[in-house]
Amino acid sequence: MTPIQALQKYFGYNQFRLSQEAIIANVLNKQDTLVLMPTGGGKSLCYQLPAVLLDGLTIVISPLIALMKDQVDSLNLTGIPAAFLNSSQSPDEQKDIAIQLKNGEIRLLYVAPERLFGADNRMMGFLKTLNVVQIAIDEAHCISQWGHDFRPEYLMLAGLKNEFPNVPVIALTATADKLTQKDILDKLNLHQPAVFISSFNRENITYRVNPKKNSFNQLLTFLDARKDDSGIIYCLSRKSTEALAADLKEEGYAAEAYHAGLNNEVKARNQEAFLKDEIKIIVATIAFGMGINKSNVRYVVHMDLPKNIEGYYQETGRAGRDGLASDALLLYSPGDAIKLRSFATVENNREQSAIMLKKLDDMVNFCQLHACRRQFLMHYFDEPFPDNCGSCDFCLSEFVKFDGTLIAQKALSAVARLKERFGTTYLIDFLRGSKSEKIWADHKLLKTYGAGADISKADWQRYLRELIAQGFLQVSEDGYSSLRLTQKSEAVLRGDLQVELIASQVTDEQEHETQNYEAELLADLRKKRQEIAIGENLPAYIILSDATLLEIATFLPQKMDELRLISGFGDVKLAKYGREFLAVINSYSKEKGLTSRITQKSVKRERKAAKPKKGKLSDTFQATYLLYKEGKSVTEIAHERGLSPTTIEGHLSRFIQTGELDVYDFVNESKIPAIKDAVESYGSAMLAPLKEVLGDAYSYGEIKAVIAWMNREA
């Protein structure tokens, strides 16, 4: 059997992804290999496929006992005999597995490193009597002290190459950090390893950072739009995970907490319930998640600031392993950064402390970024990336600039009056004329006290952030984070320099651009999958992934031959579950008078490869534009693209702004002055008040068009 045949037969996939094919060829060639691929990239397949093709046993070393079962269940379901050995099993069970191993009936054996070398090397002695043909080391970054989750047991793996000198070792990790990479190679003693580095871009994840205000309400708003989805919510402290899980339950969400302090039974139960979709939300500390293969996690929320980009990227990477659109939301408050600073200092180790603090600074910079978040992340991992990804909060927003000189002058003179000795919070309270006792009595007598009362707290925060970013203010590094003037401040105060500020974010709309699918059928398919999952006592996503169900609901296969073309149906799954799912599809199609659309699917649809963006505006904008140019109306385009007319109007306005479309095509000339007037008096930050002022004769679309036109790029 060739690798591609095995891919189709066992996994039901038609193509290799990223560098899988080259990696597999390398292993089959008995070469040591290091694989760096982002979470969800498809690392497991890189050793699972060789395990099928090589005649013998593959040992898989994996750090978390709790998760081995999941992997093994999944393999057995694809028709690949696999087992694990760990302390949770009875002696009889273990003996049973040992016999199967001796008989050569098992292709993959999962073990934890301590087990491999523990108890006077008995295990090692036993394994050496078997025909071992491949050794896979999962989560290989655990061997590095430089990495962010060092596990001392992993250091023992250095001895593996001595025990099995002729067996190829494949080490896999999702950590992109260069120092860790080098360390893995050094510590594992690999023999002339080939290193495969994939792009770390996770293009199906949308990154958002929101200023943390009333975090629980912010979370509820976010969850409200995702009621049926699974997600992970990360908190910094154990206590807050429990409190938040309880609050969410009260709001009717099926949520449970997870942290290292819970007893093992509770942890295992909550984790299992999450994997099986019995609970939708897990509220966890970062103790949760490593090795979790649940592919249909739709969102990851960080309620608190992560300690470094590596951790953040790995945690957010747990969303969307199935390749479907997913969200990462981080709620950021500068206070969190201050709190973490104190934790980042490692006692008696200045070098280590400096590294930690630098990493924390990078994390803060990411949060305060006023540019494409994905580009920042990719650059952090030394990967080139263009400046507009089209799917982070920055790239999805439209920014309206205005002359903010007066605002800047108020802020800068307040800083001067306060003798550069206070931080953001005090400054804002002072500017807004807070009556609080916190404000010193003599400060209340100053002229600038209350000079910015007309601006909301949140806006002030944004403006100050921008003034800092533009170099008109700086934050002291003495630990007090007080605001100081800079060389550039002087010119602003004198009125010699104009300052531009960003007024608002007009849109940050989410678009799940999937092909048209039958939503009701998808629900039926999910129900069927859940039924099977309960019957087999397995998590639903192990039966079939969400991506597979979505494909069925899109292409409506009517026969086994057609079902075979759906990505994710290997031979075993097809034989086992094919008919049950066909029955669901057939009856739905009959009821609705629908037929198969399988011909619309030429090859098995894979997740799109990361594509460089051509122009400035992302593809979704371009798609709308092209349809419009074909002469279609907003309503027609909205219908055709499965998006709301408002979104389409938003897209088109962008082309008014760039000058590619004419505002007069969207608004009657006679209406423009009134709209322009309203915008000039009330600003364009919020559309609703403008609409109210203008009345029913003016539509949102018209207002947006005029705003875009007023901001048109020269």
- The span of 38-46, 202-210, 408-416, 443-451 binding ligand ADP (CB under 6 A) equals 38-46
Structure tokens at 651: 């897209």
Site membership for Zn ion, residue 378 (CB under 5 A): no
Alpha carbons 584 and 545: distance in angstroms, whole number: 17
Nearer to ligand ADP, 140 or 190 (CB): 140
Q: Is 654 in the site for Zn ion (CB under 5 A)?
A: no
Is position 141 an interface residue for ligand ADP (rule: CB under 6 A)? no
Nearer to ligand ADP, 123 or 522 (CB): 522
Residue 44's identity, in one-letter code, is S
* DSSP of 483-548: EEE-HHHHHHHHT-S--EEEEEE-------------HHHHHHHHHHHHHHHHHHTS-HHHHS-HHH
- Closer CB to ligand ADP, residue 509 or residue 606? 606
**Residue (322 or 393) nearer to ligand ADP, CB:** 322
Q: For residues 75 and 78, give the distance between their C-alpha atoms in angstroms, rounded to a whole number.
A: 5
Query: Taking CB within 5 to 8 Å according to partner kind, which of ligand ADP, Zn ion, none is near residue 372?
Result: Zn ion
DSSP secondary structure of 298-324 = EEEEESS--S-HHHHHHHHTTS-TTSS
Shortest distance, CB of residue 670 to Zn ion, whole angstroms? 38
As given in the structure block, the two tokens for residue 118 are 């523990």
Under rule CB under 6 A, residue 321 binds ligand ADP: yes
For residue 415, which of 406, 426, 400, 404 has the smallest C-alpha distance?
426
List 292, 301, 344, 389, residue binding Zn ion (CB under 5 A) = 389
Which residue in the set 4, 28, 44, 658 belongs to the binding site for ligand ADP (CB under 6 A)? Answer: 44
395 binds, among Zn ion, ligand ADP, none (CB under 5 to 8 A by kind): Zn ion
User: Which of the listed partners (Zn ion, ligand ADP, none) does 359 bind, with a CB threshold of 5 to 8 Å by partner kind?
Assistant: none
End-to-end CA distance of the chain: give it in Å, rounded.
61
Residue 40 sits in the site that holds ligand ADP (CB under 6 A): yes
For residue 306, state whether it binds ligand ADP (rule: CB under 6 A): no
Among positions 417-476, residues that touch Zn ion (CB under 5 A) are none
| Binding residue (CB under 5 A) for Zn ion from 60, 392, 627, 679 | 392
- Taking CB under 5 A as the rule, does residue 553 contact Zn ion? no
Binding mask 552-591 for ligand ADP (x = CB under 6 A): ---------------x------------------------
Torsion over CA of 39, 45, 140 and 32, rounded to 10 degrees? -140
Angle between helices 645-657 and 619-629 (to 10 degrees): 90
Among residues 75, 137, 319, 395, the one that binds Zn ion under rule CB under 5 A? 395
Q: Pick the closest to residue 236 from 301, 321, 295, 310 (CA basis).
A: 301
Q: Kindly state whether residue 47 participates in binding ligand ADP, applying the rule CB under 6 A.
A: no
Instruction: Please say which residue, 320 or 701, places its beta carbon nearer to ligand ADP.
Output: 320
**How long a stretch of residues is the chain?**
714
CA–CA separation, 326 and 621 (whole Å): 20
Taking Cα atoms as reference points, which of 521, 513, 508, 505 lies closest to residue 638? 513
Place of tokens 């979370």: 219
- Establish if 320 lies at the interface with ligand ADP (CB under 6 A): no
The binder of Zn ion chosen from 276, 374, 432, 651 (CB under 5 A): 374
Min dist CB 567 to ligand ADP, Å, is: 6
- Judged by the rule CB under 6 A, the positions of this chain that interact with ligand ADP are 13, 15-17, 20, 37, 39-45, 293, 295, 321-322, 545, 567, 606
